[in-house]
Amino acid sequence: MIRSVVRGFGTALPKRVLTNAELESMVDTSDEWIVQRTGIRQRYIAGEGETTASLGEAAARAALDKAGLTAADIDLIIVATSTPDNTFPATAVNIQNRLGMHHGFAFDVQAVCSGFVYAVTTADAYIRGGLARRVLVIGAETFSRILDWTDRTTCVLFGDGAGAIVLEAREGAGTIADRGILTTQLRSDGAHREKLYVDGGPSTTGTVGHLRMEGREVFKHAVGMITDVVVSSFDATGLTADDIDWLVPHQANKRIIDGSAKKLGIPLEKVVITVDQHGNTSAASIPLALAAAAGDGRIKEGDIVLLEAMGGGFTWGAVLLRW
Ligand code: UT7
């Protein structure tokens, strides 16, 4: 049985750090409120010349380096983003070109904060279906460019960045002892659109628009939706919360992460947290967190790793894999 195994990982962050203290001089907020309600202490903000594609390219190069591969070894690039450089062509094609890659194919997926989970699921389906052997999966965002910087309820929450992994086809026995992706679970429900959306777009206003969110409403649904897909992942594999070595959640809010871990019965020592450093980087948050924990040696070969996310749409999903 073919499994998709993580062979490399990499990240890229903009140069500029924006602290909570700086935000105090921009909107009516405080470091205390932001830290208490979200756990965020700082975020990175893209400057001139830094875009979703440039950050994605840098993360991709780092992931290829770590894997000991070059763009010549890749068949497919999938980029998860809601903040593309242009409406079209896809940011994935832009990154493909920046990497000097003119073979294979590349496309974007758009599932907002669940984007990386959607992209990994898509890559896994292509690999298991025999359509690609090595896939570069990138989550890259510049949410700073769609924020309303006068709206304190949203502008303090988000940041920019990118993370990438290389997934490679390997033969497995078809049991949960295999390395690689063991199950993926995706869901969406468009009835929740108004709770988290961007108030513009090419076919409606002809403008990019700004992010709008009813934070409390999103918060109310988050833990339940995350639990739903994680429980489905356990049902699909026979694994339980006790088998999880590392939970790598989407990093929107420390309170949502703590609440989900508690409900699932996963101790906080096994949860990777980067929201304090990066804020919510949407589709980039999971690969940024994954690379942090794999890079410093917390995640080791053979570990069971659970990825989960929930975001605009609503979309939500989980990936359970053996590292
Ligand atoms: O990435 C996936 C999608 N996004 C999320 O998962 C985000 C989900 N939601 C959240 O993380 C939280 O709901 C927030 C962090 C957005 C807000 O936390 P909350 O505990 O739900 O606060 P709240 O919206 O109920 O607001 C509490 C108070 C309000 O004042 P009143 O009405 O009680 O007087 C807000 O106006 O806090 C006020 N407030 C602020 N105060 C200082 C809202 N934003 C700020 C701010 N600084 N930046």
- Mean pLDDT, consecutive 10-residue stretches, the chain (323 aa), reads 98 98 98 98 98 99 98 98 98 98 98 98 98 98 98 98 99 97 98 97 98 97 97 98 98 98 98 98 98 98 98 98 98
Our answer on whether the CB atom of 218 is closer than 6 Å to any ligand 1 atom is yes
Superfamily of domain 2-171: Thiolase/Chalcone synthase (3.40.47.10)
Our answer on whether the CB atom of 112 is closer than 6 Å to any ligand 1 atom is no
Q: Which pair of structure tokens corresponds to residue 143?
A: 């949410």
| Catalytic choice (210, 250, 253, 278) | 250
CA of 215 to the centre of ligand 1 (A): 6
Q: Is-catalytic flag, 113?
A: yes
**The predicted structure's pLDDT at residue 265:** 97
Contacts of 81 (CB under 8 A, 6+ apart): 52, 56, 91, 108, 110, 115, 139, 140, 141, 282, 283
Could you give the CA distance from residue 267 to residue 166 in angstroms, rounded to a whole number?
Answer: 29
Q: Ligand 1: which of 213, 217, 219, 280 to mutate, judged by most atoms within 8 Å of the beta carbon?
A: 219
Q: Is-catalytic flag, 250?
A: yes
| Catalytic choice (113, 192, 210, 253) | 113
Cα 68 to chain centroid distance, Å, stands at: 23
Could you give the CA distance from residue 177 to residue 158 in angstroms, rounded to a whole number?
Answer: 37
For residue 310, give the ligand 1 atom closest to its CA.
2
Closest by CA to 312, choosing from 199, 230, 204, is 199
Q: Ligand 1: which of 30, 37, 148, 255 to mutate, judged by most atoms within 8 Å of the beta carbon?
A: 37
Our answer on whether the CB atom of 252 is closer than 6 Å to any ligand 1 atom is yes
Contacts of 115 (CB under 8 A, 6+ apart): 80, 81, 82, 109, 139, 282, 283, 309, 311
Regarding the domain delimited by 180-322, which CATH topology (the fold level of the hierarchy) does it fall under? Peroxisomal Thiolase; Chain A, domain 1 (3.40.47)
Residue nearest ligand 1's atom 38 by CA? 153
Q: Is-catalytic flag, 155?
A: no
Residue spans in the chain of domains classed CATH 3.40.47.10: 2-171, 180-322
